[in-house]
Chain A
Amino acid sequence: MQDRYNPRGAWTFFQRETRRFLRVKMQTIVAPALTAVMYLIVFRYAMGERHVPGLNVPYFEFLIPGLIMMAMLQNAFANTSSSLIASKVMNVHVFLLMAPLSSAEVVFAALAAATVRALIVAVVLLLVLFPFADIHVVHLWMILLYGICGSIIMGGIGMLSGMWAQRFDDMATISNFIILPLTFLSGVFYSVHQLPVFWQTINQFNPFFYLIDGFRYGFLGTGDSDPAKAAFVVCLATLLVVFCCWYAWRLGWKMKV
């Protein structure tokens, strides 16, 4: 029985995945914070005191939660995907395959580490952006639900991408042609009410839209989508992604020949 579960192994793997990004703080934590500040400064002065149409909030207050969430999603994705693809390219993934860890343990540890990285980035961003605007918390539960579920979803998608990719170039393709457009076109920088109807409809199918909108709702108390519907979509997506990761790792998809 003792041999069926390996909590110490999962903990060790989790530690490896967190130490990996803590060793390179400049690119994993400081850089995202700087990027967010840049966006804020640029848009702050470009948009002035304008309010977001449809929502009665100043533009830069609208922008801050979106920037934080975008950074969280990108970092959660980066943690799992870069770990796996780097391991594969260096051929050290064999040590993970040889270890007595079940699929559930591997997925749990990898996604937990991705979530921790996203949360650290979020806290750093909050601290850095705080001087620029009043940040209110209206619904804390929504912030936590969307923040954590969003990180798990993106960590999971990163894990699947890392398993699929065989070269760094494959990974760059996913990052630049799928993840980046989806995050940029998810309503971080605008409200969907500003879009033509066609693009509003398209947005309904972008999972990132619900993540960012729900997260922002927690700060502003208002948003573009129905919070109950968004919460349902997000929880369902989280379960689906976790299941896919578990199943793919169990099969050794693209990891074992």
Chain B
Amino acid sequence: MNALEIRGLSKSYGKGKQALSDVSLNIAEGSFFALLGPNGAGKSTLINILADIVHHESGSIHLLGRDLFKERGWCKRRLGVVPQEVAFDPFFSPREILRFSSGMFGVAPDEDWIEELLIRLELKAHAEKNTRQLSGGMRRRLLVAQALVHRPRVVVLDEPTAGVDVELRKRLWVFMQELNAAGTTVLLTTHYLEEAEELCDQVAIIDRGKLLMHRPMQALLADAAARLLRLKYNQPLTLNAEQLGALSRWRPRIDACSIDLAIPSNQTASSFHTVYTAAIETLGVPVDVAIVQEDLEDIFLRLTGDAHAGSL
């Protein structure tokens, strides 16, 4: 079953700013899903629609098979959302916040589970403090604990690790991986691409409200991440239409004086030679040549970058 089934979801804010346009996406139950995109791509809008903070305009969402917009009560109890903005009621301690949040979701506070959350998210020592005394990283972890306290089957994390230091971030991910192994579906947005690469089994990229692609992480990395031939010239490059046409099958990406061309993954002696020859014929002899491994960041930039977003 799909944990989330999004069909034709659209949303625009006033003055015609289209935040989401016709986004369709399936997220299988049990997956660890990364939703990537630059700032303002529409990630948070999507998450806020799931969380019932923002109205949708058209389209549908099914959560674990139920219509999210018609059966809000059922769906909300099975969904835990970590919003991007960190804020708490200033009157309560972390432990009280967790109890309170549990009650709001209609669940009697499970003290053992609350204790475990406090320990796993390293908040135990601060459990009775006022939330105003917590550091930024602690507050963000409390936000994660709060989203998990009613034991949701689907967890959505909007930039959960911003401001959390590296060591704690790793431990947070170990915890999320354990939950995922136990059957919880995890959907996250992050700016740390290496994190997504390491953790997630599915990845979708959205930009300017449109879904650019959705694939299994392995397939994306294996297929797209052939290696790149990086040619460096001694002056900034611009491609005319003819040059672009000649090189387009190798997905050229220009960064000032250098150009990256993807070497097809069926690596034979001739595949490198074909790319290299075509490049020299089109652009002339470079001053330097390197071969680099394409990672998620390159793919991400390639898909969302201004120059070639249209060609995909």
A interface residue numbers (CB < 8 A to B): 3-9, 11-13, 15-16, 19-20, 23, 87, 90-92, 94-102, 252, 256-257
- List residues of chain A with CB within 8 A of the CB of B91: 19-20, 23
Complex Cα spacing A22 to B101, Å: 20
Interchain CB contact (< 8 A) of B54 among A12, A15, A257: A257
Pairwise interchain contact B51-A97, C-beta atoms closer than 8 A:
yes
Q: In this assembly, does B107 line the interface, its C-beta being within 8 Å of a C-beta of chain A?
A: yes
Pairwise interchain contact A97-B52, C-beta atoms closer than 8 A:
yes
Q: In this assembly, does B89 line the interface, its C-beta being within 8 Å of a C-beta of chain A?
A: yes
Interchain CB contact (< 8 A) of A9 among B53, B83, B88, B103: B103
- List residues of chain A with CB within 8 A of the CB of B251: none
Complex Cα spacing A173 to B112, Å: 47
- List residues of chain A with CB within 8 A of the CB of B72: 100
**Minimal beta-carbon separation of A96 from chain B (angstroms):** 8
Interchain CB contact (< 8 A) of B73 among A8, A87, A95, A100: A100
Complex Cα spacing A243 to B74, Å: 24
- List residues of chain B with CB within 8 A of the CB of A102: 73
Pairwise interchain contact B53-A97, C-beta atoms closer than 8 A:
yes
The interface size bin for chain B is 20 to 34
Interface centre among B52, B55, B73, B76 (most CB of A within 10 A): B73
Pairwise interchain contact B54-A256, C-beta atoms closer than 8 A:
yes
- List residues of chain A with CB within 8 A of the CB of B103: 8-9, 11-12, 15
Q: List 27 A-B contacts (CB under 8 A).
A: A3-B74, A3-B77, A4-B74, A5-B73, A6-B73, A8-B106, A8-B107, A9-B105, A9-B106, A16-B89, A16-B100, A87-B89, A92-B89, A94-B83, A95-B146, A97-B52, A98-B52, A98-B83, A99-B76, A99-B104, A100-B72, A100-B74, A100-B76, A100-B106, A101-B104, A102-B73, A257-B13
**Minimal beta-carbon separation of A99 from chain B (angstroms):** 4
The 9 closest A-B pairs by CB, nearest first: A12-B103, A100-B76, A99-B104, A91-B87, A3-B74, A6-B106, A100-B73, A9-B106, A8-B106
- List residues of chain B with CB within 8 A of the CB of A252: 55
* Given known A-B contacts A12-B100, A23-B91, A98 and B81 have beta carbons under 8 A apart: yes
- List residues of chain B with CB within 8 A of the CB of A15: 103
Complex Cα spacing A256 to B104, Å: 19
* Given known A-B contacts A9-B103, A252-B55, A3 and B73 have beta carbons under 8 A apart: yes
- List residues of chain A with CB within 8 A of the CB of B87: 90-92, 94
Interchain CB contact (< 8 A) of A256 among B52, B71, B81, B83: B52
Q: In this assembly, does B310 line the interface, its C-beta being within 8 Å of a C-beta of chain A?
A: no
- List residues of chain B with CB within 8 A of the CB of A20: 91
Complex Cα spacing A68 to B73, Å: 40
Complex Cα spacing A228 to B89, Å: 44
Interchain CB contact (< 8 A) of B55 among A87, A96, A256: A256
Pairwise interchain contact B51-A94, C-beta atoms closer than 8 A:
yes
Known: A3-B71, A90-B89, A92-B88. 14 other contacts (CB 8 A): A8-B107, A15-B103, A16-B100, A92-B89, A95-B101, A95-B146, A98-B53, A99-B76, A99-B101, A100-B73, A100-B106, A252-B55, A256-B53, A256-B54
Chain B's closest residue to A252 (CB) is B55
| Chain B 136-150 interface 0/1 with A at a Cβ cutoff of 8 Å (1 = within) | 000000000010000
Complex Cα spacing A252 to B49, Å: 13
Pairwise interchain contact B108-A8, C-beta atoms closer than 8 A:
yes
Complex Cα spacing A12 to B103, Å: 6
**Minimal beta-carbon separation of A156 from chain B (angstroms):** 22
Complex Cα spacing A170 to B252, Å: 54
Interchain CB contact (< 8 A) of B53 among A4, A11, A87, A94: A94
Chain A's closest residue to B11 (CB) is A257
Chain A's closest residue to B71 (CB) is A3
Q: Give chain B interface residues in 31-54, CB to chain A under 8 Å.
A: 51-54
Complex Cα spacing A102 to B106, Å: 12
Pairwise interchain contact A257-B55, C-beta atoms closer than 8 A:
yes
- List residues of chain B with CB within 8 A of the CB of A23: 91
Complex Cα spacing A44 to B108, Å: 53
Q: Give chain B interface residues in 198-245, CB to chain A under 8 Å.
A: none
Interface centre among B55, B88, B89, B101 (most CB of A within 10 A): B89
Pairwise interchain contact B104-A13, C-beta atoms closer than 8 A:
yes
Complex Cα spacing A95 to B13, Å: 22
- List residues of chain A with CB within 8 A of the CB of B90: 90
Interface centre among A9, A15, A87, A91 (most CB of B within 10 A): A9
**Minimal beta-carbon separation of A119 from chain B (angstroms):** 22
Complex Cα spacing A235 to B92, Å: 37
Complex Cα spacing A10 to B13, Å: 31
Interface centre among A7, A97, A98 (most CB of B within 10 A): A98
- List residues of chain B with CB within 8 A of the CB of A99: 76, 101, 104-105
Chain A's closest residue to B106 (CB) is A6
Chain B's closest residue to A251 (CB) is B55
- List residues of chain A with CB within 8 A of the CB of B88: 92
